[in-house]
Amino acid sequence: MIRFDNVTKVYALDGRRKVVADALNAVFPSGRAVALLGRNGAGKSTLLRMIAGTEDPTEGRIMSTGTISWPVGFAGSFHPELSGAQNARFVGRIYGVDTDALAEFVEDFAGLGVHFHLPFRTYSSGMRSRLAFGVSMGIGFDTYLVDEITAVGDAAFRAKSDRIFKARLKTAGAVMVTHSMAQVRTLCNAAAVLEEGKLTYYDDIEAAIGHHNRNMATGR
């Protein structure tokens, strides 16, 4: 469960206030895969960071039960001088999981070959994404946060990624930022629309998509 209790987030930009969350009160129930919909710049990624705890609200609080992931596929915290294997083990220690099992899973899943034991700084962007997705999927969270994840690699790897993420969602929830309505319909069973600082939660996916499409059609 994720509860927003009077959550407000305000940025100061060039002397002007930008309100991305305006006294939000909502609940994302446990075990639901919630699509977070909204225009570019609406504040979806900011909301995700606040759920993750990496950014604080200006006012209010976000309460949660269970474990919550970092944004799936995010590689920004990997140490450039450590190998993929060392980075995986380091993350495993932070989250208190079996580091040997996690490293073994990631090595098999990411398919990096000898590069898994080379410094992260030598990786291509695709290799970094494969490692990050593997580490994310190798740890069992109660809720996965997903910010515009882009499938990388060949068709076989994309299919493998899709299968494992769907498998994780059988026993976990998610909050997923995406502009793909196909992904929303395939992966999610609830949705929330963020528009001008207001958040509207829907149990009905099609109702949420309709709301979002009407917002997009009005322009600004």
Write out the two tokens for 64.
């949660």
pLDDT of residue 115: 97
DSSP category for residue 83:
B
Q: Please state whether beta strands 59-64 and 143-147 pair in parallel, antiparallel, or not at all (unpaired).
A: unpaired
Write out the two tokens for 154.
């060949």
Please name every residue paired with 27 in a beta bridge, in sequence order, or none if there are none: 3
Would you say 194 and 26 are in contact if contact means Cβ atoms under 8 Å apart?
no
> Is 150 a residue whose pLDDT tops 70?
no
What are the residue ranges spanned by the domains of the chain?
A: 2-67+175-218, 73-140
The average pLDDT across 78-93 equals: 96
Split at pLDDT 50, 70, 90, the class of 151 is: low
Q: pLDDT > 90: what percent of the chain?
A: 73
Q: Could you tell me where the DSSP H helices lie in the chain? A: 44-52, 84-95, 99-110, 125-138, 155-169, 181-187, 205-218
The average pLDDT across 122-141 equals: 91
Would you say 205 and 188 are in contact if contact means Cβ atoms under 8 Å apart?
yes
> Is 160 a residue whose pLDDT tops 60?
yes
Nearest-CA neighbor of 180 among 212, 203, 156? 212
Q: Domain spanning 2-67+175-218 has what CATH number?
A: 3.40.50.300
Would you say 31 and 182 are in contact if contact means Cβ atoms under 8 Å apart?
no
